[in-house]
Amino acid sequence: MKTIISIFVVTFTFAGLAFGECSVADKKALEAFDHAWSVAGEKGDRAALNNILADDYVGLPAMISKTQNIEDTMRTFEQNKANPQNTDLFSSDNYMISCTPMTATITHRNVVTTKNGMGGKEETFYSRSVHFLEKRGGKWQAVSSANHNLDDYGVLMYMEYDWVNAEVKRDTSWLEKNFANDYSGISSLTGKITSKAEDIAGMKNDKSVTEFAEATDMHIRIESNSAIVTGIYRTKGRDEKGQPFDRRNSYTDTYIKRDGRWQVWASQGTLIP
């Protein structure tokens, strides 16, 4: 058995992630820069890529230069253009951004869905990117970046973060996709045992408003195709009667890997007085 303790803290509000020293406007501008970088690659926009990457850009770990990066991107673009039916779907989320007036660091998760996985089945892969930027001549440019695949610990950590976000946004589609069909939950408020369908219905009918939520003190254990995540879950907001609440729960989430992906199998919370 392997064990990992994550010291990360994730916090969600309606304004989104709150990391680093940047203002909200700074973060929006830097996230827009990152998305523009992705779009330039998808469209094969050589001119845009040339402006986005600094002349001394280095891609890690292979020490790829600006020229190599652009040529590799253009080659992938041409391949996708010739075979659009086989083009992978790519998206980025879970942004963490910090900056000074002249430097910035952008970290995010990448989600790649390929239509031609093992046995011809659709598969999803996860990785994490770190981009280092400098402001030169009044504009941001990427001076370096690194990318690495997420192991199961990283995948589960981000799933916990996604679950927190889904609770805040009342995103029942996340539960539909990521809860196993034989999921069971135990409420930290009532002690009631619930099914997948009951938890989804409960989220749809919940009249409370969650203004803030965070998962901390995560401890992840994996054994074969099973995993257990424990931690502290805090929520603040207003209940269905408009009364403020601030709750902390110790939680245990159990995951099972089926069909090549992790699914939530059970969840139990205990209210901390």
pLDDT digits (tens, 9 = 90+) for 209-225: 999 999 999 999 999 99
Residue 27 parent element (H or E): helix 24-43
Domain boundaries, the chain: 21-149, 152-271
State CA 145 to chain mean position distance: 18
- Read off the tokens for 173: 């589609």
Q: What local confidence, expressed as pLDDT, does residue 120 receive?
A: 66
Q: What local confidence, expressed as pLDDT, does residue 221 receive?
A: 98
C-alpha distances in Å from residue 226, one per residue of 66, 93, 184, 255, 262: 42, 25, 15, 6, 9
C-alpha distances in Å from residue 102, one per residue of 59, 222, 245, 261: 20, 41, 41, 40
Residues 6+ apart with CB under 8 A from 56: 66, 143
Closest alpha carbon to 217 in 232, 229, 227, 236: 232
Alpha-carbon span 55 to 66, nearest angstrom: 6
Residues 6+ apart with CB under 8 A from 8: 157, 218
Closest alpha carbon to 128 in 177, 161, 100: 161
Q: What local confidence, expressed as pLDDT, does residue 10 receive?
A: 44
Fold of the domain spanning 152-271: Nuclear Transport Factor 2; Chain: A, (3.10.450)
**pLDDT of 267 over the 70 cut:** yes
For 247, what's the count of Cα atoms within 13 Å in the CB-facing half-sphere?
A: 18
Alpha-carbon span 37 to 144, nearest angstrom: 13
Fold of the domain spanning 21-149: Nuclear Transport Factor 2; Chain: A, (3.10.450)
Q: Where does the pLDDT of residue 118 fall: very low under 50, low under 70, confident under 90, or very high at 90 and above?
A: low
- Read off the tokens for 260: 């090549």
- Give one word for 259, left, alpha or beta, with left for phi > 0 and alpha for psi -120 to 50: left
Q: Using an 8 Å Cβ cutoff, are 160 and 231 in contact?
A: yes
Average pLDDT over residues 235-254: 95
Q: What are phi and psi of 61, to 5 degrees?
A: -90, -5
| Fold match flag (21-149 vs 152-271) | yes
Q: What is the pLDDT of residues 186-211, one digit of tens each?
A: 998 889 999 999 999 999 999 999 99
Q: What is the pLDDT of residues 222-242, one digit of tens each?
A: 999 999 999 999 999 999 999
Q: Using an 8 Å Cβ cutoff, are 10 and 89 in contact?
A: no
